[in-house]
Structure 1
Amino acid sequence: MENLIFILPIFGVIGLAYMLYLRAWVRKQDAGDEKMQKLAGYIKEGALAFLKAEYRMLTIFVVVAGILLGVISMLVETTHWFIVIAFVIGAAFSAIAGNIGMRIATDANVRTTQAARTSLIQALKVSFTSGTVMGLGVAGLAVFGLSTIFALLTMTFMADGYNYMDMTIVLESLAGFSLGAESIALFARVGGGIYTKAADVGADLVGKVEAGIPEDDPRNPATIADNVGDNVGDVAGMGADLFGSYVATMLAAMVLGNYVVNDHTNGVGMDDAFGGIGPVLLPVLVAGLGIVFSIIGTFFVKIKDENAKEADVQRAFNIGNWGSIILTGIATFFVIQWMLPENMNMSFFGEGTKVISSMGVFYAVLVGLAVGGLISYLTEYYTAIGKNPVNTIIQNSSTGAATNIIAGLSQGMLSTFFPVLLFAAAIWAAYAFAGFYGVAIAASAMMATTAMQLAIDAFGPIADNAGGIAEMSELPSEVRTRTDILDTVGNTTAATGKGFAIASAALTALALFAAYVTFTGIDGINIFKAPVLSALFVGAMIPVVFSALAMSAVGKAAMAMVKEVRRQFKEIPGIMEYKAEPEYDRCVEISTEASLKEMMLPGLLTIVTPLILAFGTQLLTGNTLLAAEVLGGYMAGVTVSGVMWAIFQNNAGGAWDNAKKSFEAGVMIDGEMTYKGSDAHKAAVTGDTVGDPFKDTSGPSMNILIKLTCLVGLVIAPLLSSDESHGAIAQKKIVEVKKEIIVDENGKETVTTTTTEKYK
């Protein structure tokens, strides 16, 4: 079964093959009348134009970063030049993952609208199937790309069997793949988030608040840009985001799996049927199984009643989600018993040696799967219509926008309580069961059902676009009613998808952090050292400043959008009477230009700051290990602060959004039914406008900020472990000397000495 390493890419191929089948089915569905197709064409054209411009800019970044990685590979013996190729492939795959989602979403939106003309059941089927295309595209590319590169590298470096140093070189090169994926994800998420919220805020402030026209009214010049933004931000950006997260979790677990193999066997490899690297291969196989069971889970997402409400649709998603999670957990039990020995020895930093059992690893898997399900439940509670947090915001809307905003901020802050306790308990439990390897495996298990999670998440923007097309095409009210049901659920599923990504960041960051420690060889992070404590504070500050930059970028772009929409209302006669068509393309241009310009500073802040801290400390003190500790302190600060800010912003924004939507069906405030158009509704619109960049720009970018920071640390770790007495890269050498006395036929004795170096 050593050939398992070459079988793993097949799981990715299965996901991609089924994705192509579903994509063909979606494209065969009715795209509606000429007017609907014309509007959908505007949206698709604008989305493609943005991605083209964005990828042109990111190509320059990839070239520059690739050159720097090439320099690192020349300076450090254990970093191979293939890290550059892996980086480029990772960046390309991340871009492709987002592109797959964006293209199917812009094909599916109008088809969902047309399906909603006949039934809610069919509209859900079209939109969710389209989301599944994106989910399988992301998961399939991640498993196929990472496992294929891993197989090629092991064939190159480990033809003679397992060697810790050789596997370290393989995984360090593979870190380039993950770094490329996360780098593109950051810019895609930030750029897409700025784009979508600039258009959305501009459209809401002038259209709904000032002009008093409905959302997605065809007279509003910013409506096309708003719908384009749903695709480039919530679809293409989210696809690249979770692609990077998926790869990072597998990589972290593989690095720690290599540490387990080396520590348990003194560098000779496991006595197993998998080339001695069972713990290294396990996370990739778990991810592959997750693809299969995500496909099975999609068959459970359906409704049978045409009069179904939001709760019924949400229940269908929950059944599919939990079904895939439970099936993955059951299968993983048998896989772990098959691949791992009953007990493994692993030394922990400063804690001696601990015995890890295969059952302990399985329990860690259950912890990860539970976190994935529970974080969805918690996020749903804090953001769903009918739940107490949203109702609190609704009630506070009756006294104006100020109290609405205060309520939204407080609910967002409170929403950090239970998720953080969940993460803390999960980390502690996974560590108790199987050490840092258990934490990494828990993260991998949670991400195993990414295909299902992303299918549920991507469904939301598609439904949102479908409603916009229905409004702009002036279709019968029952069509918009059906799409609004899906859109309302989509707001919650989008929030739960972001919560899932945050949970992955929390667990993956710790696993990457542990991998960083093994690569640098530091014994821990001592905050009683002034430079380390300083770096901890700097790291905690970065998510705050990053959020401010992202919010400011949205504000600047939104101001330009507001001015443009006001100009068109004033200077183009006949717009409000439907006698003239607005200049949609001008609003698309404004969002594109603003987002591409404003995304660079937050992105560079993320990548450059850890480099300055690490190498600046090394230059000032001449102490390599202190520099490694300083960077570790910085990474810890970014992680803890970033998780808090991500939860707060995502949940506050999601709750504000659904509070606004609640008024469309009518809500009870102080004993009276209150509807859309009331003063309370207008206050809720203002709150939603504030929350938009929270939940769609700065909030979702936090998890990428966390993981990219840790990946940058992992990639430059070889440069921070030059002291030969420390580090997994610099290597502590265990030298075994064997003496043998050979007596020839004449009775003469000859002493031969054999020296063997092993790495630990």
Structure 2
Amino acid sequence: KAADMSADLVGKIEEHIEEDDPRNPATIADNVGDNVGDVAGLGADILESYVASIVSAIVLAIFMKFADHGTMTESQYYGLIILPVLIAGAGVLASLIGVLVVANMKTKDAQKSLSFGNLFTGALVLGSVAIVIGIAAPDYPFKDSFIINPEFVSRWRLFFAIASGLIAGIIISKLSEYYTSDQYKPTRKLAKDTQSGVAINITGGLALGMGSTLWPVITLAMAILAAYWSAGVYGIAIAALGMLSFVGYIVSVDSYGPVADNAGGIAQMANLDPKVRKLTDRLDSVGNTTAAIGKGFAIGSAAFAALALIVSYIWGSAGTANEIVNNPVINLVEPYTLIGILIGGMLPFFFTSLLIKGVSDTANLMIVEIRRQFKEIPGIRTGEAVPDYKRCIEITTKGAVSRMLTPGVVAIASPFIIGFLFGRSAVAGLLVGGLASAIMIAIFSANSGGAWDNAKKFIETGEYGGKGTPTHEAAVVGDTVGDPLKDTVGPSMDILIKLMSVVSLVFGSLFPVTPFFM
């Protein structure tokens, strides 16, 4: 993202050259960064959610055996443990089929074919999960008093929980598409308003992102409630897996954007026919929307997975098996729990500040280097000299590696510090507060950044004056503000809350029940 920001700010605004122009020293670093961030980065994020949802479902199945005081049979016990693995396997096969179907579709509208593949793969997953449930799932009587119709003992309760997660994922992806695609009103209005300058572009993008949290959060809340009513806390865990069951297709769709973006860069650097670049720009705009869809899935699944991990921590932190059902670890009137909630709500904001500062500082070093090269190597502007691409790559690589250390320590150390200082209840509050705060920041960041980027690309098609106008320059500035939000902050929120939850679950038994000073 540092390379992306600096390449745009110096290249487009100061030097008035095209994006990915080979005369720009940051061009190669920018193209490399697309793969690093939007393929490897988001892929790792979704993989973490995928594994976390499987682990949390297995852990909850183990705790449920203790909570039932021996009423669960061995076959039911092992059935609930193996079920997440079988569902994941069915999702892999469905994803392979979905990718093949979309790859062989003959259509000129990339957006429609990818959206169709999303729905087709989701339906395929539901069908394959139904087969798995019918063959391998146990008829387990869910004892929780809050579930709907507890007398109805059927394995199909599990199917309803999985379906709620999957449907929620598809709805969130469509909402992400609506808020970030230039085919819809929010982004087009943002592009139109940019005619009034940078400030209006920035404030409009911020308002769009903040407002876009409403319906995704309501969707998540309804899905969590449906999963809980269907199969209790175990239902929440497998609902996360349902949302992620076609993770292979999600990652493929998300990777589409960087491929299209880099194709445009290659076309520009190779001086191909301008028609080629015009086509790749249109594909890249679709890619920004598919990236937002991928981030929507990542955010929603992270919320489910983290919630399941938090429940696992709360159950597992009980002193004895008899305390698992009515675990006293969370008591909102205790000051230690409130302290945990407040600190948990603050951490995503502090984490965000570290990330944005890291990107901003590295981008600043890049801008200084790019200006130096334009000044000291005058042949760059005329194409007679080759820029020092390697130096820019070194700056971004060093900046990225060094700037990840502090946020990583914060995510890992926070549960230990809060746990040993204030006890287990404070850690539970930390996780709950962190989850609520991180979801909002993640959705806001992803949608604001995607809308700023596509508003810029919409203007570059010739709308509102097109390239080289003050409107375009204002949109470029907005896009550079959105870069660290959508591609650094958004995905990192998922990682923060899941990492804290996993650390708390694994080491929760080490934390004292009461604060150390009691």
Which residue of structure 1 aligns with residue 84 of structure 2?
283
1:375 aligns with 2:176: no
Identity percentage of aligned residues:
46
- Aligned residue among 632, 638, 647 for 2:434: 638
Q: How far did 1:288 drift?
A: 0.3
Query: CA–CA distance in 2 between the matches of 1:361 and 1:539?
Result: 31
Q: SS state of the match for residue 138, structure 2?
A: coil
What secondary structure sits across from 1:576 in the alignment? helix
Q: Report the AA paired with residue 296 of structure 2.
A: G
Number of aligned residues? 505
Deviation at 1:665, TM superposition (A): 1.5
Compared with structure 1, are the counterparts of its residues 305 and 433 closer, same or farther at alpha carbon in structure 2 (3 Å cutoff)? Answer: closer
Corresponding residue number in structure 1 for 2:100: 299
In the alignment, is residue 387 of structure 1 matched against residue 191 of structure 2? no
User: Conserved in 2, the CA contact under 8 Å of 1:401 and 1:687?
Assistant: yes
Q: 2:207 aligns with which of 396, 407, 410?
A: 410
Secondary structure in structure 2 of the residue aligned to 1:277: helix
Distance 2:486 2:229 in 1: 34
Partners of 1:417 and 1:574 in 2: how far apart? 52
Post-superposition CA distance 1:576-633 (Å, at most 9, x none):
111000000010111111111111111111111111000122xxxxxxxxx1111000
Matched residue type, 1:696: D
How many angstroms does 1:717 deviate by? 1.7
Letter in 2 for 1:379: S
Alignment of 1:115-154 (within 5 A): none
Q: Does 1:657 align with 2:448?
A: no
Distance 1:386 1:271 in 2: 52
Aligned to 2:56: 252
Q: Does 1:419 align with 2:231?
A: no
Residues 549 and 721 of structure 1: CA distance in aligned 2, closer, same or farther (over 3 Å): closer
Instruction: State the alpha-carbon separation in 1 of the partners of residues 141 and 135 from structure 2.
Output: 14
Q: Give the alignment partner of residue 475 of structure 2, picking from 664, 684, 703.
A: 684
Please list the CA deviations of residues 481-533 of structure 1 after superposition, one character each: whole Å capped at 9, or x if unmatched: 22222211111111111111000111111111111112111335212111110
Partner of 2:391: 586
Q: CA deviation at 1:422?
A: 0.5
Mind listing any 5+ residue stretches in structure 2 that lack a counterpart? 319-326
Contact 2:91–2:128 (CA<8 Å) still a contact in 1? no
Q: Specify whether residues 555 and 717 from structure 1 end up closer, same or farther in structure 2 by C-alpha distance, changes over 3 A only.
A: same
Residues 722 and 644 (structure 1), Cα distance of their counterparts in 2 relative to 1, 3 Å cut: closer
Give yes or no for contact 1:204–1:689 (8 Å, CA) kept in 2.
yes
- Aligned partner of 1:566: which letter? R
Separation (CA, whole Å) in 2 of partners of 1:612 and 1:265: 34
Deviation at 1:348, TM superposition (A): 6.8
* 1:207 aligns with one of 4, 8, 11: 11
User: 2: CA distance between counterparts of 1:411 and 1:242?
Assistant: 25
Alignment match of 1:340 (pick from 137, 159, 162): 137
How many Å apart are 1:224 and its aligned residue?
Answer: 0.6
Q: CA deviation at 1:535?
A: 1.1
Q: Distance in 2 between matches of 1:302 and 1:612?
A: 49
Amino acid across the alignment from 1:236: A
Cα pair distance change 1:341/1:405, threshold 3 Å? same
**Alignment match, 2:47:** 243
Root mean square deviation of aligned Cα: 2.0
Q: Distance in 2 between matches of 1:535 and 1:304?
A: 51
Equivalent residues of 2:147, 2:229 under 8 A apart: no
TM superposition score normalised by structure 1:
0.64
Counterpart amino acid of 1:381? Y
Q: Are 2:2 and 1:198 aligned?
A: yes
Distance (Å, rounded) in 2 between the aligned partners of 1:304 and 1:645: 36
- Over 3 Å counting, the alpha-carbon distance change for 1:287 and 1:350 in structure 2 is closer
Aligned match for 1:513, one of 298, 310, 313: 310
Amino acid in structure 1 at the alignment position of 2:231: A
Cα distance change, pair 354–219 in 1 and its aligned pair in 2 (3 A): farther
Contact 1:663 1:675 in 2 (8 A): yes
The answer to which structure, 1 or 2, has the higher relative contact order (CA under 8 A, 6+ apart) is: 2
SS at match of 2:143: strand
Letter in 2 for 1:660: K
- Contact 1:368/1:446 (8 A) holds in 2: yes
Query: Does 2:478 align with 1:674?
Result: no
Q: Shift of the alpha carbon at 1:359?
A: 1.9
Letter in 2 for 1:222: A
Alpha carbons of structure 1 residues 304 and 269: separation in structure 2 relative to 1, 3 Å: closer
Cα distance in 1 between the residues matched to 2:145 and 2:330: 14
Match of 2:444 in 1: 648
1:556 corresponds in structure 2 to 361
Once the two structures are superposed, the pairs formed by residues 411-490 of structure 1 within 5 Å of their partners are 411-490=208-287
- Aligned-residue offset at 1:718: 2.1
Structure 2 partner of 1:568? 373
Contact 2:6 2:363 (C-alpha < 8 Å) held by counterparts? yes
Structure 1 position 347, deviation (Å): 4.7
Q: Deviations over 1:113-139 (max 9, x none)?
A: xxxxxxxxxxxxxxxxxxxxxxxxxxx
Please state how far the C-alpha of 1:262 moved relative to its aligned partner.
4.2
Q: CA deviation at 1:303?
A: 7.2
Are 1:715 and 2:506 counterparts? yes
Tell me, which stretches of 5 or more residues in structure 1 are unaligned? 1-196, 618-626, 668-672, 724-760
One-letter amino acid of the structure 2 residue matched with residue 595 of structure 1:
A
8 Å Cα contact 1:198-1:558 kept in structure 2: yes
Give the greater-gyration-radius structure (CA).
Answer: 1
- Match for residue 525 of structure 1? 330
How far did residue 546 of structure 1 move?
0.6
Q: Displacement of 1:235 after TM fit?
A: 1.6
Q: Give runs of aligned pairs for residues 10-409 of structure 1, distance below 5 A.
A: 197-264=1-68, 266=70, 269-271=73-75, 276-302=77-103, 308=108, 312-347=109-144, 357-409=154-206
CA displacement, residues 370-421 of structure 1 (integer Å, 9 cap, x when unaligned):
0121111010001001211101211210110000001000000000000000
Partners of 2:484 and 2:153 lie apart in 1 by: 44
Deviations 1:159-189 (A, max 9, x none): xxxxxxxxxxxxxxxxxxxxxxxxxxxxxxx
TM-score, length of structure 2 as denominator length: 0.94
Q: Deviations over 1:527-555 (max 9, x none)?
A: 21111101100000000011111011111
CA shift for structure 1 position 268? 6.7
Q: How much has 1:214 moved relative to structure 2?
A: 0.5
**Post-superposition CA distance 1:298-324 (Å, at most 9, x none):** 122147667x2xxx2111111212111
SS at match of 1:357: coil
- Rounded to whole Å, the distance in 2 between the matches of 1:495 and 1:253 is 27
Secondary structure of 1:300's aligned partner = helix
Task: Say whether the 8 Å CA contact 1:303–1:316 is kept in structure 2.
Answer: no
The reply on whether 1:598 has 2:403 as its aligned counterpart is yes
Structure 2: distance between partners of 1:714 and 1:356: 30
